[in-house]
Structure 1
Amino acid sequence: MIAASSPRGGVAPVSRRVMNLAHFVRQAASLHRNEIGLVWGEATWTWSDLDRRIDAMAAALAAKGVSKGDRVLVQSKNCNQLFESMFVCFRLGAVWVPANFRQTPDEIAYLAEASGATAMICHSEFPDHAVAVRAASPDVSVLVSIGASDFAEDYDDLVRQHAGRSAPEAAVVYDDPCWFFFTSGTTGRPKAAVLTHGQMAFVITNHLCDLMPGTTVRDASLVVAPLSHGAGIHQLVQTARGVKTVLLAGDRFDIAEAWGLVEHWRITNMFTVPTILKMLIEHPSREMHDHSSLRYVIYAGAPMYREDQKLALTRLGKVLVQYFGLGEVTGNITVLPPHLHDAEDHAGARIGTCGIARTGMQISIQDDEGREVVAGSDGEICVCGPAVFAGYYNNPEANAKSFRDGWFRTGDLGHVDDDGFLYITGRSSDMYISGGSNIYPREIEEKMLAHPAVAEVAIVGVPDQTWGEVGIAVCVLTAGQSLTESELLSWIGSKIARYKVPKRVVFWDSLPKSGYGKITKKIVKEELAARGVLPPLTVREPAA
């Protein structure tokens, strides 16, 4: 009889070998060798081209001493070399450490130190970043430049020098790291979430199952975000099916170009964030190009405000797919597929939900002590399943804080209804306490966006001598509209409880956004301080 405490049902634990993720390129090159795998500007590469280039670059790095387990920091805007570098690292069994190219040299130097990188691939446009990394991390002994530069050998020169050399795929087990996915650092310095070969194999399968069912080599995907983070995961999924990936020609987001590419390449799917999707649907170039090929417009990274969602559905049709997930869970918590999106606010519409649990994942809404609360009650959103990362690299304190009884604690607040649909209240870090009452900005922002003159809004809690904290609403007006602070406060005051009404409203031409196009409250607060809005704060009469 097998004892209940026996590991794996009586089978001794073993290291489970899994497919090296770089094998997806090998498969695509074998099955679809002459099909276009990547498009960037006027240039195209077939899957065979990409496989050969990845082999050559892997051989070049191996000759320089890069081997399994080494961390390779990559500082680059979107380009074919950045796309390839992921699979170069995977093929060697090394760890891909991509950075947001908009970060400063000092910030990139920190990532080098935090990751323990020993090699760096740096775009030629960022020489100061390479200098900063070398100064901060003497262990970075291998440096490669994308494009000609004075600080390192050129990537493409190395590819030519090692052309024809085959790099064997490193043998990997389930828990071997393949990617250090740095968090955005909204509550402190960025942390390296460790993604593994086995975990990511599940993530890829899950994305194909829940987000883009029916995806084949006949599809085409447009990239409108940096490949260093969520868009990189999305493109890894495309590679698994031999899907053509199309990059914008430049490093700036050109909306007219994006719609032109959708028409030219018959784009069937794209991954974006709500703020960029809003820009896409509101731009006049949308009407100038055929976008009927679109089947899945996937948005994540932040909740989409209802008014924006309705407009997108009206203009694009039932192609929206929402998912909720963090980098630590590689986007795999919930999904709201096209058929559950509704442009009408009828009685049966599930307004405000981010969907149901992803296949193979489980959600638990927990109180501060880790007890699961009943349906309809707010608590912290916790999750378990194969998509959860291995933990933060070299950060036991963060790991202890983020895991409880096997559940990953997202730090997001919300509730589920009786049918299991999840509704996000907000980030626990976004909540502020005013006069003893918990205030969740998300609810108030949704109400404000229903005003026809308000295009964007972010509400943050700031210190106040009387109430502890009060809210400031930062608004961007719709083009051609005018609105005053008193008018907006009077309007919103009739729609929410008085204690939830922000104490101030300021109007800006635009809201500051992160390098991934998301509105983050940390950046908004920093900008408020920079503009001298925070000190001193005018206190209004107490709300009843």
Structure 2
Amino acid sequence: MIQQVPVSTRVMNLATFLTQAARRDPEGIALVMGDRRWNWAEFDARTDALAHALQHRFGLQQGDRVMCQSQNCPEMMQAMFAVWRAGGVWVPANFRQTPEEVVYLTQSSGARILLCNAAFPDHAAACRADCPELAAILSFDSAEFGPSVQEVTASAMGQRPQVAAVDRDDPCWFFFTSGTTGRPKASVLTHGQMGFVVTNHLADLMPGLTPQDASLVVAPLSHGAGVHQLTQVARGVKTILMPTERFDVATVWDLVRDWRVSTMFTVPTILKRLVEDPATATADTSSLRYVIYAGAPMYRVDQQNALNTLGKVLVQYFGLGECTGNITVLPAYLHQAEDGPEARIGTCGYARTGIEIQIQDDQGRELPPGQTGEICCIGPAVFAGYYQNPEANAKAFRNGWFRTGDLGHMDEAGFLFITGRESDMFISGGSNIYPREIEEKILTHPAINEVAVLGMPDPVWGEVGWAICVTSAPVEAGELAAFLDGKLSRYKMPKRFVFWEALPKSAYGKITKKMIRAELGARGLIDEEARA
């Protein structure tokens, strides 16, 4: 019998990646945004100062959650590392969400501190009014609703925080995602899990990075791009932020040329815009090594155009927030522009290092190659569960396997093909859209009796929402869109409103999306591609 020896579960605090980068290359450029430059020593010192202030001025205790509502800026990355260094949990919101939505995230996470960009005073005011647990609100840049991170940092420069000792399973990031209910759920990511994720990203997505590389951020740091930038810090790679919130392709290529950008994380819709913009014809893209895309399927013709334009630099991965993107990878060498036996068309790749994938039936039994079932996975990248949501956890795990809710099959070689979704969720421009939430908002209009929101194929955004409505009084699409303005984030707004006398229902009286799609086709409103 093997004697059980107690072992430590202590792991490195994620903020140590920044400490190590600053030690190796203190004068090297770490962060760039417009005319602003931070070297690694300055980045680390600012992080120390803010972490000290969070602990001693604002009373942050280990395990406290810190909500962040901001578009990309250097202070957002500083705050992320400062929160970890102080022992807190990073809780970033999608900056496009409404004040009402951010209030819910703040309440459900139990956040004690809110970091809010000065551009969002309404969000700060709503949280101050409706979130009594908040002990402090800080602003990025000068704002009336709270002291600025810049002022707080300056007042504490030279101060060193007590760096939090963390265990493998200590939470570090609440990554908000949703299910069929449409209400966001906080996926609990841990220090140990994220240490594995960083190693895995560097091994499977971007091998061989050095401080000579540079990474351009073209997506919100609140989600996948933030994870991507954490890996860049781990290797001392400089991060280039877009100078303004506006996405401009010519500016992207100017930055790629000027900073010899080698890595980018993006989504198919952004990649499509980059490839098709007239500015790309004369762009210098020779420095690119890894253009990583995820978040949604990519049409084959768009993939081919990107390969023909940028070369063999595309890297695809499939993953959910609950797995921090770590389920599959299709590396650059397996991306083929030409159709043929060597081109693995339609696959999102094979299992990431350290991850196992199974296709399972409804009872959790593994299905053979070629058969469609639910995509399930296990491995160190899988999250610790949803925060204070035992019902969701019970549905998400079965026999130790995480159930993604996506349907697919694997071939004999272990390449995964996604064929559908168990839920009604759809992806528009890389963002997950959950129909139930939109339907509930539409149903608050007095003239709407019934509604069903479906994701429909779109050549620009991948998918967009269509709202099929049954009314009790005359209402026009424009009026309904105006009614929803301010109640929904713009990226959740349905692109099309269709009005019917009744919605088709099953024998049990349920409204089924499958029957609605069939009816849309029968009425000639969608083509075969949209029905697929």
Q: Which category describes the TM-score, using the shorter chain as reference length?
A: 0.7 to 0.9
Q: What letter is aligned with 2:53?
A: A
Distance 1:39 1:184, change over 3 A: farther
Residue 159 of structure 2: SS of its match in structure 1? coil
- Select the residue among 50, 59, 62 that pairs with 1:65: 59
Cα distance in 2 for partners of 1:539, 1:357 equals: 36
Task: Note if 1:540 corresponds to 2:508.
Answer: no
Residue 354 of structure 1: SS of its match in structure 2? coil
Task: Note if 1:235 corresponds to 2:217.
Answer: no
Q: Which residue of 1 aligns with 2:430?
A: none
The answer to whether the 8 Å contact 1:181/1:193 transfers is yes
- Select the residue among 148, 167, 170 that pairs with 1:173: 167
Residue 110 of structure 1: SS of its match in structure 2? helix
Distance 1:38 1:376, change over 3 A: same
Please state how far the C-alpha of 1:106 moved relative to its aligned partner.
0.5
Identity, % of aligned positions: 58
The answer to whether the 8 Å contact 1:71/1:97 transfers is yes
- Select the residue among 27, 30, 37 that pairs with 2:23: 30
1:122-521 alignment, distance < 5 Å? 122-183=116-177, 187-430=181-424, 475-476=458-459
- Select the residue among 38, 42, 55 that pairs with 2:48: 55
Distance 1:41 1:532, change over 3 A: farther
Cα distance in 1 for partners of 2:195, 2:114 equals: 25
Please state how far the C-alpha of 1:289 moved relative to its aligned partner.
2.0
Please state how far the C-alpha of 1:14 moved relative to its aligned partner.
4.8
Cα distance in 1 for partners of 2:333, 2:184 equals: 36
Please state how far the C-alpha of 1:427 moved relative to its aligned partner.
1.5
Residue 496 of structure 2: SS of its match in structure 1? helix
The answer to whether the 8 Å contact 1:180/1:195 transfers is yes
Distance 1:380 1:250, change over 3 A: same
Task: Give per-residue Cα distances to partners, 1:90-149, cap 9 Å, x unaligned.
Answer: 101100001111100000000001100011111111111111112221110111111111
Please state how far the C-alpha of 1:11 moved relative to its aligned partner.
2.1
What RMSD, in angstroms, separates the aligned Cα atoms of the two structures?
2.8
Please state how far the C-alpha of 1:305 moved relative to its aligned partner.
1.2
Please state how far the C-alpha of 1:296 moved relative to its aligned partner.
0.3
Q: Which residue of 2 aligns with 1:528?
A: 496
Residue 398 of structure 1: SS of its match in structure 2? helix
Cα distance in 2 for partners of 1:195, 1:251 equals: 27
Distance 1:533 1:353, change over 3 A: farther
The answer to whether the 8 Å contact 2:180/2:423 transfers is no
The answer to whether the 8 Å contact 1:353/1:424 transfers is yes
Q: Which residue of 1 aligns with 2:4?
A: 11
Cα distance in 2 for partners of 1:135, 1:81 equals: 25
Please state how far the C-alpha of 1:535 moved relative to its aligned partner.
6.6
Cα distance in 1 for partners of 2:256, 2:331 equals: 21
Please state how far the C-alpha of 1:223 moved relative to its aligned partner.
0.2
Cα distance in 2 for partners of 1:137, 1:474 equals: 38
State the TM-score, normalized to the length of structure 2. 0.82
Cα distance in 1 for partners of 2:521, 2:327 equals: 40
The answer to whether the 8 Å contact 1:378/1:415 transfers is yes
Q: Which residue of 1 aligns with 2:100?
A: 106
Distance 1:83 1:405, change over 3 A: same
Please state how far the C-alpha of 1:472 moved relative to its aligned partner.
8.7
Q: Which residue of 2 aligns with 1:94?
A: 88
Q: What letter is aligned with 1:336?
A: L
Distance 1:354 1:474, change over 3 A: closer
Structure 2 gap ranges (5+): 428-432, 440-451, 462-489, 504-518
Q: What letter is aligned with 1:154?
A: S
Please state how far the C-alpha of 1:187 moved relative to its aligned partner.
4.8
Q: What letter is aligned with 2:522?
A: R
Distance 1:474 1:390, change over 3 A: closer
Cα distance in 2 for partners of 1:181, 1:364 equals: 24
- Select the residue among 38, 41, 45 that pairs with 2:34: 41
Please state how far the C-alpha of 1:284 moved relative to its aligned partner.
1.0
The answer to whether the 8 Å contact 1:528/1:534 transfers is no
Please state how far the C-alpha of 1:293 moved relative to its aligned partner.
0.3
Task: Give per-residue Cα distances to partners, 1:347-402, cap 9 Å, x unaligned.
Answer: 23211011110000000000111111000000000000000000000100000000
Please state how far the C-alpha of 1:541 moved relative to its aligned partner.
8.0
Q: What letter is aligned with 2:496?
A: L
Cα distance in 2 for partners of 1:386, 1:371 equals: 22
Q: What letter is aligned with 1:124?
A: A
Cα distance in 1 for partners of 2:460, 2:133 equals: 50
State the TM-score, normalized to the length of structure 1. 0.81
Cα distance in 2 for partners of 1:49, 1:110 equals: 35
Task: Give per-residue Cα distances to partners, 1:429-451, cap 9 Å, x unaligned.
Answer: 249xxxxxxxxx99xxxxxxxxx
The answer to whether the 8 Å contact 2:17/2:234 transfers is yes
Cα distance in 2 for partners of 1:274, 1:416 equals: 22
Cα distance in 1 for partners of 2:255, 2:273 equals: 16
The answer to whether the 8 Å contact 1:23/1:169 transfers is no
Residue 247 of structure 2: SS of its match in structure 1? coil
Q: Which residue of 2 aligns with 1:482?
A: none
Cα distance in 1 for partners of 2:399, 2:424 equals: 25
Cα distance in 2 for partners of 1:471, 1:103 equals: 20
The answer to whether the 8 Å contact 2:256/2:284 transfers is yes
Cα distance in 1 for partners of 2:96, 2:262 equals: 28
Q: Which residue of 1 aligns with 2:69?
A: 75
Please state how far the C-alpha of 1:185 moved relative to its aligned partner.
5.8
Task: Note if 1:85 corresponds to 2:79.
Answer: yes
More moved, 59-68 vs 204-213: 59-68
Please state how far the C-alpha of 1:255 moved relative to its aligned partner.
1.3
Q: Which residue of 2 aligns with 1:119?
A: 113
Cα distance in 2 for partners of 1:234, 1:58 equals: 22
Residue 380 of structure 1: SS of its match in structure 2? strand
The answer to whether the 8 Å contact 1:175/1:390 transfers is yes
Cα distance in 2 for partners of 1:187, 1:284 equals: 42
Please state how far the C-alpha of 1:528 moved relative to its aligned partner.
3.0
Q: What letter is aligned with 1:334?
A: T
The answer to whether the 8 Å contact 1:15/1:174 transfers is no
